Amino acid sequence: MSEMKDRYKLLQQPNKLHLWRKNLGVIAIAVVVCMALISIIACKTDRSSELPNNKIWNDSKTGLMWTKHDNGSEVNFYEARSYCANLHLGGYSDWQLPSIDELQGIYNMNVGMATATFEGEKTLYSIKGGIVLTWPWEWSSTGIAPQMVKDFRFDGGMRFSSYPETRLGHHALCIRDSGK
């Protein structure tokens, strides 16, 4: 009799395999819902800030696109201007040197410091957008007085005036209007 009671109790207990299958279905639905939420959140993240192969940064606050790297070597103002004018990057060919105000607009001491090394010299600089500089002195398109051009120094956040023929430490960082 006790054997029959044991069998009866076993029959009355929920089928563990059935519960596992039922719970597996709930778990699968939960995983799908979580993945869908992650996908929605990822789509709402501003992916426009990173364009082709991380070569371009789109500053969504200003609507300006920046090259993620400067030209990589010392250039005078005329060579810098020509470099940007002839640049074809991300399907765009309307690059130019930024104004001194645009350069200063991406200087930000709050984003941390990066290190630039050029001809054995090292310096720290601070810039938005994860832009990488060979050396933190960048030409601007802003001219002042006859034969002087403004450049911006990302190693101290200062504007300088230089002769356009000067190469020492100067590089070209290019910009374009992303609304074009």
How far is the C-alpha of 64 from the C-alpha of 13, rounded, in Å?
67
Token reading at 53: 């192969």
Could you tell me the sign of the dihedral formed by the alpha carbons of 13, 17, 20, 24, in that order? negative
* Mean pLDDT, range 129-154, rounded to an integer: 93
**Is the entire prediction scored with pTM above 0.85?**
no
Domain edges within the chain: 2-44, 48-177
pLDDT of residue 139: 97
Q: Is residue 71 within 8 Å of 80, Cβ to Cβ?
A: yes
How far is the C-alpha of 129 from the C-alpha of 87, rounded, in Å?
20
Confidence of residue 114 (pLDDT cuts 50, 70, 90): confident
Confidence of residue 53 (pLDDT cuts 50, 70, 90): low
CATH of 48-177, one of 3.10.100, 3.30.70, 1.10.3470, 1.10.8: 3.10.100
Nearest CA to 129 out of 83, 173, 86, 71 is that of 173
pLDDT of residue 1: 60
What burial class does residue 15 get, using C-beta atoms within 10 Å of its C-beta: 0-12 exposed, 13-18 middle, 19+ buried?
A: exposed
